[in-house]
Structure 1
């Protein structure tokens, strides 16, 4: 294969970065004269170039960084990135919609706003939906030991990468070639218990046919046990240090809804019969509202880190047909089984779901019962026997060819991928569980009250007693939900790195044409939909879309010191019979007044096309309580600004919501500006500013906004919502007398966001002679602005300074940073890595909706202090082909236990689990053996 090459003069800015990126601990940044550099394609440009830094910042995490900084997975790399300022749902957030998946995002935006690539090609969307509504990528299932580097490109990038690239792009680049082979064996454990892991990976390179054929095969297997809440002091009991006393959970509760929801103790034995529950910790608990039987230890019976067993096979291949044409291909297959338990808070039975309430003829009171199931009720294995399992199977295959024709490079490829998810979820069957407790506890129906509630005479001794062996299994079981996504992508590119001459050098040009299709099908177990399951429902959805796109990029070095790059892209999607198209562009500027200084900037547009879930998610129902019927109030003379006294000021109405195939794209204007300075060959510093204005975000209109729009439409006035008056007429149903019957609130383009962020990074390598070499690096992100307008006409919410809004929208850290210090000498290398989360609002600030709130206990709203964890690694090359490693993550066993005081004494997870975890110190040992090298 012919390759573009150039022989530039020595350039401190380039050499400093190359030296830092490619150094293996013993990097030397001494002046050795002119250096010949290959032109390479970096994420953020289609045109090969010798400059690593251009108009768009790229944060690179190398395979060496992954090893020395203690990262255990691709998700770990991205979640600990300084760009990850937002809270995330996953294995640490019990009962989230995608607890079995791993997500990451940038700048606090939804994970779906980041475009994820593997070897430059889009990853498959996860079949289940993040937060129950949004498409995203599960970044688990990528074999970490074969990752060559991860390139993170912040800022809007749709002019090159199309839809979803609003927050940025992440390109996970896997190794393509290897001489010889390598075997990695790694084992680990947590000092606090749980989470034991073993990982084995093997890779082998194959070369032949006069060195024209190259292939690489990698196999990786990993097994990790879960971490349970009861294995950590912070999560094993209800909060002992909160703003309220530590209370036992209401495991056996009799609630009096007609008596201000006070508790009634109906057990003549005062909990003695159930004292053995939760390993003998159930007692009579007293609260200001009354007494109930319960344990402070029940909260620990959930997983705070998933268990996982996974395997991946990856292979890549190239074959040089001749000097000017090469065939290539790669394939990745992943199989994962993730296990987790949502805990006792989600494993219970109560009358509120089936009866609403009932009347106890003996006491003459209305009641609701609540009965939590202890491990002893379940059986010998307790909660380990009823874990949920997500089984993920995915593959992605690419075949193609590339070559040169004169000064032009060309390539064409076809990619096919499919992701299948089977969710095995523990459930309680609706009729069997209600029948069981009606027969065992409530007894026969003795009549009904004048208001229609059943009358019973409960058997309180049966209620306050453990379940007989086997009874729990009679009303529980599992559902099996199937879902899948798939995509096909045909891509062709032509590039000319020397299209024409300019004063500053050769102009580069590239054109890419893409076409493809993708689909989504979420099919829940029918029993989740037809009411067979107690306390749980599901929403189905299915759809597909086809698309094509044309992208072009032109890089023009107008002067030796000035380069301008422009790119444009046109995307068209066919969704549900509609064609949705969007053109995006960007213009980038690089100015180098001297060799060691770069000023850079870019302005462009970005977008996100309506996702398949946004367009095709099925209908789900809800009750909108406390809604104002503005139309009927208006008929009585009330102005919509003041409906106090109107009999229709607070009504309950049934609502439905679903996806919407008529959605428009989410759009964004994005620009960044920055500076890179490399005063010497072994030092570089960069600072960049980013600005986003995002419009047409997808949300649903509130019932209040829809009813207000109806008032304006019916009275011939301006309706300032995103719904037309015809929409309003179609979406609000009334009976013949005008009474509200139903409202429909589909997903719509209604929200807007404004963001500003500042990032900084530095890299420095110092040769210290016979003592080896030192390597320093750091990254910093400060969110300057993050404001959200949920609906048209609403005031903007300040998601960085309004503590209530921050907690409602998954929590954010204004500042994040990371840094490392590496030392290398002879056969030894060691690295200390630090990860920093800035101050965040405490839960009491959310509780009081402001920082001036003071609780009656005397505790005040405020912020938690900054939070830093440290990883340490030591590597020793015992033989030329054997390296031994010891990694200790979270060296000082840092826990978010200083957050306890801000939570109530009933909380079982008294910290912000979207940003922090209670895993503690992890210790890993690894042996890496290389073989077969020539």
Structure 2
């Protein structure tokens, strides 16, 4: 069905109340039922607010498909936390960065990618209120939400709603909404303790949870605490990543260059340590990396000192300790008024180990120096081992995060009318502190000058001159010496989002022949803030080999929304919602966006639902893109102007200045506009009996005005056209291009030389994704053999394309792995068996095939072989639980029963020798759990 046809159908349906006089009767399991009696029956059902709607309703299945996973299901299916459970959902097809990417920008955060779209395109909610962004930027560019701070103990269930939902929730709901609903009512007190580990070593963990409730005639209170501790999983604890011997390419199983002297122009370039320090040159440092440092050879390059096992000294899973608290209370002042408040607070301490990447390249400039003894240009490299740094812990990046979500308000009804209101204030905040010990440029250079280089003897052509004594190079350093030339990079960053809201609802605004019309309205005002200040010493360039980016910005927002639920006739209901949002950056830049959604629910019989929806959505200009400070990079580009002036008539592909190296600078753009999207979907829900149900839905999302950094090639073409007089110099295009491209003057040794290019993010890209999500559940009573349940979920992406710049061909993200390695399909299923006091669950998930690394290189133009794939990855989890009396149970849970490692990719030759954005090598995990309940009621 095309979206235009769907819109036409909805528009026609809205006119039906005025054309159809009598209401059609509904068919029920008991036979014919009148509309009036059906309405009375519906009134007997509890109406609740469901994810994707503001209007309380009795129907759970609506015009939009919602996938719900309860806390009990997450536990029985073998997931240890909220992130693991969400990452395993079939809708989460996109590859993402998590703790395995320890050298990335956000090693302490965990997020998901719905439908293969950017994590920032999913709106994450706590009890329907937005969560604050993680302070560090995803991929160093954009904001996103971290899921690692959400405690499992406080979760009641999670709703996942794919597709555009901005007409209800506002910004970011393009890929969909993930609503984490916390516990609202608890009887008694439950104490839960879990402990476990992994079968291959590392990853030991334990968790203590206490959740209770206190209830009177007027007061309902839920409280809880959770304390958890997780130990690291090191690369050296898994065969696939313990050493370079795990490299699938036998010719690439050589050691990293931990101690190296390289000579420019020499063949081979590596200088044999024996010729520099005598026999057994690596002996003084043989204790490093657990005693694995030795004399090594790299084919075609030469000899050096190295350790094949050094690559394994990075974490695959970060160690962490977390403390969480939860308090939810509501107090009934009278029959029509209730005050309430909810607070969720989490404090997490974690560490990330990026491995032996703290390297010094001598000297001073981090480049070659002239060896006065040999008249050669030498380069020296040393990687600091844990034994030199003072142990494994000395290399850790330490992270402290504090996150909270608070809501407080008053709700009730207006007298005895059908009008209900909810006025509240909501705030979510995330504070992050980090510390990392790194080498200080001046101090480390001075140390190695004293260690073996000797005093600087002058310079030649900008290169320093030394007379090194290499026999002292292979001596290593002591922890005290390492401390003397290192310092700590410290950052403190913060984000928050807050707003005040007034929401009114009426489930019986007026009656139509088919039933009552429901309405809901929202007024909202708030702001959001992001601050990422860089360490002043980092900005000043005091630390060797690293730079930092920073930024800060604040934005005000105002919104109004309205939703109607209209029964067209007894079988057909329409849901219409619209919202207007206005955003204004403090310091410049503003944008407004109106979004809407039209949905239809057609129920020819009570057990069958046909549904369809059409919606628009947006993501407000990203605070990271808008306010990030200058950050540098190096690259090459064609210099069209220099070619035209200095080599006129020479084709660009033959020009000396194509390509030319340049230093680039990325800056923020406070005048960005919103990313916009349109989506439509349709599906069917069939439940022929209370024990069997099927769902299948098609989704299609088109995204416009996505943010990408400016095309350097187009900027260079504009620069040339302006300088050559082909465009007016006073035109906006020329004013911008000439300011962003910096050149040397016409006079001098390098006339018109390209000095630098500044680029900023702009709204320019497009993206489209479509697919089908389906599920089925069956429950049956086997008599004395117990009760069984069988469920399955499936998601397949039919098409996913991306266009970066206008006029570019569409990139097929399912077949062009240079841009994406998302799963085309994910299938999961579960089987449960309850008999007597025993409950058993088996859960399986199949991740579809993904492109291999050669395919990525091929599509990037770096390989000659065509595309290949990595086999599907199949995992099984299981749990067994035994109930001891009415108020206690003991359980055993296993994740990844078969201890399946990532599927082999013979072309992925970079450590840890698998794609960490799709797979993990944690292996089999297991837990023993004891749960005891105190107080009234059965568990």
Q: TM-score, normalised by structure 1?
A: 0.91
Answering whether residue 431 of structure 2 is matched by residue 420 of structure 1, we say yes
Answering whether residue 832 of structure 2 is matched by residue 822 of structure 1, we say yes
Q: Is the 8 A contact 1:9 1:35 kept in 2?
A: no
Question: Residue in 1 aligned with 2:464?
Answer: 454
**Cα displacement string for residues 208-232 of structure 1 (whole angstroms, at most 9, x for unaligned residues):** 3xx1111111111111111111111
Question: Residue in 1 aligned with 2:582?
Answer: 572
Answering whether residue 49 of structure 2 is matched by residue 37 of structure 1, we say no
Question: Residue in 2 aligned with 1:248?
Answer: 255
Change (3 A) 1:353 1:130: farther
Question: Residue in 2 aligned with 1:224?
Answer: 230
Partners of 1:703 and 1:200 in 2: how far apart? Answer: 53
Which of 313, 327, 331 pairs up with 1:301? Answer: 313
Change (3 A) 1:897 1:865: closer
**Cα displacement string for residues 24-73 of structure 1 (whole angstroms, at most 9, x for unaligned residues):** xxxxxxxxx99952111110111111211111000000121112111111
Change (3 A) 1:800 1:386: same
Partners of 1:652 and 1:552 in 2: how far apart? Answer: 54
Question: Residue in 1 aligned with 2:749?
Answer: none
| 2:806 counterpart SS class | coil
Q: Is the 8 A contact 1:353 1:535 kept in 2?
A: no
How far does residue 189 in structure 1 lie from its aligned partner after superposition?
Answer: 0.7
Question: Residue in 2 aligned with 1:518?
Answer: 528
Answering whether residue 491 of structure 2 is matched by residue 481 of structure 1, we say yes
Matches for 1:542-621 after TM superposition, within 5 Å: 542-575=552-585, 576-621=587-632
**Cα displacement string for residues 162-217 of structure 1 (whole angstroms, at most 9, x for unaligned residues):** 11111100110001121211111111111111111111111121123xx1111111
| 1:126 counterpart SS class | coil
Which of 887, 912, 926 pairs up with 1:909? Answer: 912
Partners of 1:115 and 1:851 in 2: how far apart? Answer: 36
Partners of 2:720 and 2:696 in 1: how far apart? Answer: 51
Partners of 1:668 and 1:86 in 2: how far apart? Answer: 19
Question: Residue in 1 aligned with 2:876?
Answer: 870
| 1:478 counterpart SS class | strand
Partners of 1:724 and 1:550 in 2: how far apart? Answer: 37
How far does residue 853 in structure 1 lie from its aligned partner after superposition?
Answer: 6.6
Partners of 2:787 and 2:42 in 1: how far apart? Answer: 23
Q: Which range moved further: 561-570 or 355-364?
A: 355-364
Question: Residue in 2 aligned with 1:143?
Answer: 151
How far does residue 789 in structure 1 lie from its aligned partner after superposition?
Answer: 1.6
Which of 716, 737, 741 pairs up with 2:755? Answer: 741
Structure 2 residue ranges without an equivalent (≥5): 1-24, 31-40, 747-751
| 1:531 counterpart SS class | coil
Answering whether residue 929 of structure 2 is matched by residue 918 of structure 1, we say no
Matches for 1:878-917 after TM superposition, within 5 Å: 878-896=884-902, 898-899=904-905, 901-904=906-909, 907-917=910-920
Answering whether residue 265 of structure 2 is matched by residue 258 of structure 1, we say yes
Q: Is the 8 A contact 2:583 2:591 kept in 1?
A: yes
| 2:158 counterpart SS class | strand
Change (3 A) 1:736 1:223: same
Answering whether residue 739 of structure 2 is matched by residue 727 of structure 1, we say no
How far does residue 714 in structure 1 lie from its aligned partner after superposition?
Answer: 4.9
Partners of 1:605 and 1:500 in 2: how far apart? Answer: 28
Question: Residue in 1 aligned with 2:199?
Answer: 191
**Cα displacement string for residues 277-311 of structure 1 (whole angstroms, at most 9, x for unaligned residues):** 22221222222222221111001111110111110
Partners of 2:156 and 2:429 in 1: how far apart? Answer: 24
Question: Residue in 2 aligned with 1:779?
Answer: 793
Change (3 A) 1:898 1:352: farther
Q: Is the 8 A contact 2:560 2:581 kept in 1?
A: yes
Structure 1 residue ranges without an equivalent (≥5): 1-7, 14-32
**Cα displacement string for residues 563-614 of structure 1 (whole angstroms, at most 9, x for unaligned residues):** 1111111000111333210011111111222322222111111111112211
How far does residue 260 in structure 1 lie from its aligned partner after superposition?
Answer: 7.4
Question: Residue in 2 aligned with 1:236?
Answer: 242
Change (3 A) 1:716 1:162: farther
Question: Residue in 1 aligned with 2:95?
Answer: 87
Change (3 A) 1:482 1:749: same
Q: TM-score, normalised by structure 2?
A: 0.91
Partners of 1:239 and 1:525 in 2: how far apart? Answer: 39
Answering whether residue 772 of structure 2 is matched by residue 758 of structure 1, we say yes
**Cα displacement string for residues 796-833 of structure 1 (whole angstroms, at most 9, x for unaligned residues):** 22211123333xxxx21111121111111121111001
Task: Figure out how many residues of one structure are paired with residues of the other and give that number.
Answer: 887
**Cα displacement string for residues 678-732 of structure 1 (whole angstroms, at most 9, x for unaligned residues):** 222211111111111111111211322211122344567689xx98443223322
Partners of 2:204 and 2:564 in 1: how far apart? Answer: 51
Change (3 A) 1:883 1:723: farther
Question: Residue in 1 aligned with 2:845?
Answer: 835
Partners of 1:60 and 1:682 in 2: how far apart? Answer: 17
Partners of 2:28 and 2:440 in 1: how far apart? Answer: 70
Answer 1 or 2: higher relative contact order, Cα 8 Å, separation at least 6.
1
| 2:60 counterpart SS class | coil
Q: Which range moved further: 707-716 or 403-412?
A: 707-716
Q: Is the 8 A contact 2:292 2:308 kept in 1?
A: yes
**Cα displacement string for residues 636-669 of structure 1 (whole angstroms, at most 9, x for unaligned residues):** 57589x4133343232333211111010111111
Which of 810, 819, 841 pairs up with 1:805? Answer: 819
**Cα displacement string for residues 859-897 of structure 1 (whole angstroms, at most 9, x for unaligned residues):** x85211111111100111112110111101111111115
Matches for 1:636-785 after TM superposition, within 5 Å: 642-714=651-723, 724-737=733-746, 738-785=752-799
Matches for 1:191-590 after TM superposition, within 5 Å: 191-208=199-216, 211-245=217-251, 246-259=253-266, 262-267=269-274, 268-269=278-279, 270-287=281-298, 288-344=300-356, 346-351=357-362, 354-379=365-390, 382-405=391-414, 406-449=417-460, 451-575=461-585, 576-590=587-601
CA-based RMSD: 2.3
Matches for 1:47-66 after TM superposition, within 5 Å: 47-66=55-74
**Cα displacement string for residues 476-529 of structure 1 (whole angstroms, at most 9, x for unaligned residues):** 232210111122210111111112223332221111111101111111221111
Partners of 1:256 and 1:85 in 2: how far apart? Answer: 47
Partners of 1:520 and 1:563 in 2: how far apart? Answer: 42
Matches for 1:104-119 after TM superposition, within 5 Å: 104-119=112-127
How far does residue 473 in structure 1 lie from its aligned partner after superposition?
Answer: 1.5
Question: Residue in 2 aligned with 1:26?
Answer: none
Q: Which range moved further: 110-119 or 763-772?
A: 763-772
Change (3 A) 1:667 1:469: closer
Q: Is the 8 A contact 1:354 1:434 kept in 2?
A: no
Partners of 1:873 and 1:547 in 2: how far apart? Answer: 46
Partners of 1:312 and 1:774 in 2: how far apart? Answer: 35
